[in-house]
């Protein structure tokens, strides 16, 4: 069972339920709340966390490279394009992802390589 909380959100007059998850960014050890379907890059930028994104989140660079410390199963699957682009990332690891491509649906701990 997902550990995310459920919040009621009013949208256009209709109530909708959205799950909210915890995303922790290392090494700054900052934990923020984020909704299902939001990319790690957008979560970082919305919360003042500096994550490079030279191509603007279009899977055309590798500057948004992050390492998933915990919660890989809480992310959308890696596409072939993302896998190809990741090949150019410095310090590539088996649990590397592109922050702009990985969208959450559960709690995640993410390390931003220095």
Residues that bind ligand FES (CB under 6 A): 53-55, 57, 59-64, 85, 98, 100
The Cα 70–Cα 54 span in angstroms is 25
Nearest residue (CB) to ligand FES, 61 versus 75: 61
Cβ proximity to ligand FES: between 4 and 98 the closer is 98
Q: How far out from the chain centre does Cα 65 lie?
A: 10
Nearer to ligand FES, 100 or 110 (CB): 100
Q: From the CB of 58, what's the least distance to ligand FES, in Å?
A: 6
15, HSE (Cβ side, Cα atoms, 13 Å) = 4
Q: How far is the CB of 79 from ligand FES (least distance, A)?
A: 11
Minimum CB distance to ligand FES, residue 81 (Å): 9
């Amino acid at each position: 069972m997902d550990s995310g909380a459920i919040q009621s959100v009013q949208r256009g007059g209709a109530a909708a339920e959205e799950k909210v998850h915890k995303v922790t960014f290392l090494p700054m050890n900052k934990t923020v709340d984020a909704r299902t379907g939001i990319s790690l890059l957008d979560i970082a930028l919305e919360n003042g966390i500096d994550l490079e994104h030279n191509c603007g989140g279009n899977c055309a660079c590798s500057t948004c490279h992050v390492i998933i410390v915990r919660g890989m199963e809480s992310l959308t699957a890696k596409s072939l394009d993302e896998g190809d682009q990741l090949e150019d990332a410095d310090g590539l690891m088996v649990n590397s992802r592109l922050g702009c491509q990985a969208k959450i649906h559960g709690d995640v701990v993410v390390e931003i390589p220095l």
